[in-house]
């Protein structure tokens, strides 16, 4: 009798576990698009400066439009990136404004991350949008801080609550640090000379002052590493790019 009760109890536990496991591993409902578009555009959240392994401060928001440029409601958008980058959610249907929003957590390595937002048109053909996010390591974080302290007032056209831009007051306009078309043509040695000795070191404007007495060699290297990281188009010597798979 005891043996019979033991067998019945074991069967009951097995059945309960099977039911519980089936409940826990049930797949999430598959999203079904109710409409299709033809293009994806970025609304906000691209080219953020983040920390390796951390969630970006702002969500990434993209919009699906039709061939006439009108927002599409109910289009399916899927987000992809390199391994260890996560999205929440990784797929969603566009809302009444044609937009979807996702939070992005970058991988554990510093560098450029190329993300992809993809959808399909009415023929089933995929179209997508590439978005860049940046993870600052120790050196590039230092470069960013030096930029904000010494450089951005002249090299950045946009004023902030913390800093009033001096760009419009300059007779010779300095390139933004994101201006890869200009700065990618300069070697690290050229940039070191300009930062250390001012614009005249390479026959450039004297409005660029020398910082060699202010910044040490590691500081200048950090500043150049930051410039290479944020340049657009990307610098060929910026280091690894963690691209979409």
In CATH, which of 3.40.50.2300, 1.10.760.10, 3.40.50.150, 3.60.10.10 is domain 138-234?
A: 1.10.760.10
- What integer pLDDT is reported at residue 242 of this predicted model? 53
Q: Where does the pLDDT of residue 16 fall: very low under 50, low under 70, confident under 90, or very high at 90 and above?
A: very low
Question: Is it true that 39-135 and 138-234 share their CATH fold?
Answer: no
- What integer pLDDT is reported at residue 28 of this predicted model? 57
- What integer pLDDT is reported at residue 237 of this predicted model? 67
Is pLDDT at 10 greater than 90 in this prediction?
no
What CATH homologous superfamily does 39-135 map to?
A: Immunoglobulins (2.60.40.10)
Q: Where do the H-state alpha helices sit in the chain? A: 2-24, 138-146, 152-155, 180-183, 188-197, 217-230
Is pLDDT at 27 greater than 80 in this prediction?
no
- What integer pLDDT is reported at residue 95 of this predicted model? 98
Q: Where does the pLDDT of residue 77 fall: very low under 50, low under 70, confident under 90, or very high at 90 and above?
A: very high
Which sequence spans correspond to the domains of the chain?
39-135, 138-234
Distance CA 52, CA 81 (A): 14
Instruction: Say if residues 140 and 226 touch (Cβ distance below 8 Å).
Output: yes
């Amino acid at each position: 009798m005891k043996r019979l009760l033991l067998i019945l109890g074991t069967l009951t536990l097995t059945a309960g576990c099977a039911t519980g496991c089936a409940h826990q591993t049930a797949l999430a409902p598959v999203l079904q698009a109710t409409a299709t578009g033809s293009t994806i555009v970025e609304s906000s959240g691209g080219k953020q400066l983040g920390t390796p392994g951390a969630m970006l401060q702002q969500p990434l928001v993209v919009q699906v439009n039709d061939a006439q440029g009108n927002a599409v409601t109910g289009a399916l958008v899927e987000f992809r990136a390199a391994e260890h980058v996560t999205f929440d959610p990784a797929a969603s249907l566009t809302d009444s404004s044609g937009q979807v929003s996702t939070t992005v957590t970058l991988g554990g390595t510093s560098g450029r991350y190329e993300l992809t937002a993809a959808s399909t048109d009415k023929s089933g053909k995929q179209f997508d949008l590439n978005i860049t996010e940046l993870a600052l390591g120790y050196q590039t974080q230092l470069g960013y801080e030096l930029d904000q302290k010494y450089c951005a007032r002249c090299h950045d056209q946009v004023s902030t609550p913390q800093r009033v831009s001096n760009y419009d007051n300059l007779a010779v306009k300095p390139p933004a640090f994101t201006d890869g078309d200009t700065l990618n043509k300069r070697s690290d040695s050229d940039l070191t000379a300009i930062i250390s000795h001012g614009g005249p070191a390479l026959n450039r404007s004297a409005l660029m002052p020398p910082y060699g007495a202010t910044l040490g060699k590691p500081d200048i290297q950090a500043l150049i590493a930051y410039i290479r990281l944020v340049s657009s188009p990307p610098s060929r010597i910026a280091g690894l790019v963690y691209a979409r798979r």
